[in-house]
Structure 1
Amino acid sequence: MGMKFGRLSFLFLLLTLVLAGCGEPFLSTLKPAGEVAETQLTLLFISTSIMVLVILVVVIIYLIVLFRFRRKKGEENKIPKQVEGSHKLEIIWTVIPILLLLSLSVPTIAATFKLGDVKDMDKVDKDGNREALVVNVRANLYWWEFEYPDLGIITSQDLVVPTDEKVYFNLKASDVKHSFWVPAAGGKMDTNTDNENKFYLVFDKEKADEAGNLFYGKCAELCGPSHAYMDFKVKAVSRDEFNQWATAMQKNKEEVQPTSDLAKQGQEVFQANNCIACHAVTANDARPETARTAPNLADFGNRTRVAGILEYNEENLKAWIQNPEKFKPGNQMYKEANLSEEELDALAEYLMGLKVQE
């Protein structure tokens, strides 16, 4: 029995070590890629070090007491020296916890106020233009919308940000509580339906280059049956590249016209099935927020995932269109499309051709 238990324990330990190497790069809080994440990781190391120190001291004292003061033969009636009422000991075990708490609370409080300072979000230049980049994040079941209010741009699922500068976020939810989290960039922040939360993140250029300019974000609040599939991507690029992207998106005031006969047929399928009632196909979506009930598809051809979770290819796109409930249970899209194989081919061709930038 003992050998069997030992073997199982060894196998579980080995499996744990193997699984520890799985996952996407820069999807861990232990691999920070910006100022906020580095500050929070430092706090994590401080708190962990204090806890380990306390555990070690307690274990050492326990072992000393266990061996030094254990009952010995011939000394059954011996009573060790009593230290009750010792002022020295009372001062020691009162002062040490206070020092430990201060060493943890002071940097934590300082970092909390520093990371919570968003007053620069509303700074304007001499022309009255906001200096900082602000993104309105709206969480939905089970997708993300990113609005750049000062640039007149709306995107979905793919967030584009410049590196080496503070990017400020206004966070809210349209249905239930969600939580916006880019593990490599900083801790999570809740998105609520009744108020906006604000914070900022910084994406380090060197780390972004190392990660291929792509980070991964998730919903970190249990929000429904497809909570685990509520992912998004963050493209962190240089300021010049971001400006080029923003300029191209701002010019996208009209739908990108299909270039092939099959794509034109797909455009007709898209319109005939009234997909346009929910999905915008331009980055300059002038509809009110309440009317934006599905992801913006303006730059769908440059996405890296279908529905945020599937590998980007034609087969997965058609499978998603045909039965989205299969991949994201509880999503708000229609449950099943009654389209022929030819219509699916055409629609996939049209959607994959929606590219603001080649």
Structure 2
Amino acid sequence: MAALLYGGAVIAAASPTTSIFAPMSTPAHDVNDLSIFVLAITGFIYVGVSGLLVYALVRFRARPGDTTEPPQVFGSVQIELSWTIIPILIIVVLFLTTARVLFSIQDAQKPATALDVIVVGHQFWWEFRYPQYNVVTANELHVPVSSKASPRPTYMKLTSADVMHSFWVPQLAGKTDLLPNRVNEMWIDPQQSGLYVGQCAQFCGPEHAKMLLRVYVDTPEEFRHWIANQQRTQAELTLPSETGESASEESTAHAGNPQIVHADMNVNSPTTRGVASESIDAQEVSARAGQYVFEREACINCHTVAGTVATGRYGPDLTHLMSRETIASGAAPNTRQDLIKWIGDPNQIKPGCLMPAMHLTDKQNEQITAYLLTLR
């Protein structure tokens, strides 16, 4: 057992781990202590039963020359009392110990300094809302470090937008289910900054195994900086006319060029949407062209980019997409190459995910990627 605990500590020091034997939060410490206690009792039972079995096999084995049946014992009050009372006592001890841990976690007093987070489970990603700061993000939860001198626990309200999910980051707390039309609660107080990993622990569909969790525990200064960045909105990308021509002159100049598209001539959207007064080269690979395509395809039906016309709520909020280290709920690193692959066909990275392939051209894919790379 000591070797197991030492191994867990080594793993925790080397990289993020899902070992329950490397607790970094009060609820996880309590669960870990309970686990060790239960392992000790069950280990003692295992050793005792195994020892008695070995003793009986050796002591009462058949020997050369034995031709008679050994004495038969029919009933023993002492033995029957022992195998009835001892298990009952063990069960009572385990029940009371478990109940004490459960109540100490569930009934913990919430301090005024606590951070509130609303966690919403989706197929197959996580939504995190910070009502105190009016911030919404996805898949990567940021919380401040907590210490005895300056306690800052994180209290979470958990619910589901579709089916049953389960929030599980073993180094921080035991798992808590997310149920439709019900709100469950849990809290964590990470005592060391760093990255803690977990995942959905309740089968929720074909991509359950890739519904991963990443919790970043920041120092107070890092958390304030992260919140300030998340509170920023993104502007519509418009550029002043480089030629100084009026809109009518520009339209006349490009009337014969099919590669030039005017945002205010798009029949599928209002004239005020997106890059409303700029000419967009259909072959241009730029953030401006990418936002134009992003806002005129189905992207904005599912995704939000605060400060723009994109207000979809079905998929993750993309306002600060590039502030995250991963995409697809931790299934791939957040790089340009993986973004292009993800936008082109999400099933290449996450087979069975609910984000459809939009059948964009390679040029449109590159344009949208160029725009997403600006969302920091």
- The residue that corresponds to 1:142 in the other structure is 124
The Cα of 1:245 is off from its aligned counterpart by 2.0
- The residue that corresponds to 1:268 in the other structure is 292
Q: 1:283 to 1:197 in 2, by over 3 A?
A: farther
Look up the equivalent residue of 1:179 and give its one-letter code: S
Q: Pick from 313, 323, 326: which aligns with 2:335? A: 313
Aligned ranges for residues 109-124 of structure 1 at < 5 Å?
A: 109-117=99-107, 120=110
The Cα of 1:78 is off from its aligned counterpart by 6.0
The answer on 1:160 being equivalent to 2:142 is: yes
The Cα of 1:313 is off from its aligned counterpart by 1.4
> TM-score, normalization: structure 2?
0.76
Name the SS for the 2:127 alignment partner: strand
Q: 1:248 to 1:326 in 2, by over 3 A?
A: closer
Gaps of 5+ in 1: 1-16, 125-130
The Cα offsets for residues 223-261 of structure 1, whole Å up to 9 and x where unpaired, read as 1111111113211112232123223323x1443758998
Aligned ranges for residues 178-327 of structure 1 at < 5 Å?
A: 178-205=165-192, 208=193, 213-250=194-231, 252-255=232-235, 257=237, 262-282=286-306, 292-307=313-328, 308-327=330-349
The Cα of 1:163 is off from its aligned counterpart by 1.2
The Cα of 1:303 is off from its aligned counterpart by 1.3
Name the SS for the 1:114 alignment partner: helix
Matched-pair contact (CA < 8 Å) for 2:175–2:201: yes
Distance in 2, matches of 1:93 and 1:101, equals 13
Q: Which structure carries more helix by proportion?
A: 1
Name the SS for the 1:155 alignment partner: strand
Look up the equivalent residue of 1:309 and give its one-letter code: A
- The residue that corresponds to 2:246 in the other structure is none
- The residue that corresponds to 1:170 in the other structure is 157
Distance in 1, matches of 2:326 and 2:364, equals 22
The Cα offsets for residues 123-182 of structure 1, whole Å up to 9 and x where unpaired, read as 76xxxxxx4211111111111110011221111111110111321111111111111111
Look up the equivalent residue of 1:316 and give its one-letter code: D
The answer on 1:336 being equivalent to 2:317 is: no
Look up the equivalent residue of 1:229 and give its one-letter code: K
Look up the equivalent residue of 1:166 and give its one-letter code: P
Name the SS for the 1:27 alignment partner: coil
Name the SS for the 1:337 alignment partner: coil
Matched-pair contact (CA < 8 Å) for 2:285–2:370: no
The Cα of 1:81 is off from its aligned counterpart by 7.7
Matched-pair contact (CA < 8 Å) for 1:152–1:284: no
Count of residue correspondences: 317
The Cα offsets for residues 70-104 of structure 1, whole Å up to 9 and x where unpaired, read as 233444336448483344x4443333223322332
- The residue that corresponds to 1:348 in the other structure is 369
Q: 1:79 to 1:43 in 2, by over 3 A?
A: same
Distance in 2, matches of 1:233 and 1:223, equals 18
Q: Pick from 54, 60, 67: which aligns with 1:63? A: 54
Q: Pick from 31, 38, 54: which aligns with 1:47? A: 38
The Cα of 1:24 is off from its aligned counterpart by 5.3
The answer on 1:101 being equivalent to 2:125 is: no
Q: 1:28 to 1:256 in 2, by over 3 A?
A: farther
The Cα offsets for residues 326-358 of structure 1, whole Å up to 9 and x where unpaired, read as 322332222233223x33222212111111xxx
Matched-pair contact (CA < 8 Å) for 1:258–1:353: no
> TM-score, normalization: structure 1?
0.79
Name the SS for the 2:174 alignment partner: strand
Q: Which has the higher contact order (CA 8 A, sep 6+)?
A: 1
Q: Pick from 121, 133, 139: which aligns with 2:115? A: 133
The answer on 1:27 being equivalent to 2:7 is: no
- The residue that corresponds to 1:13 in the other structure is none
RMSD: 3.0
Gaps of 5+ in 2: 1-6, 147-151, 240-283
Look up the equivalent residue of 1:323 and give its one-letter code: D
Distance in 2, matches of 1:266 and 1:324, equals 18
Matched-pair contact (CA < 8 Å) for 2:303–2:310: no
Q: 1:236 to 1:137 in 2, by over 3 A?
A: same
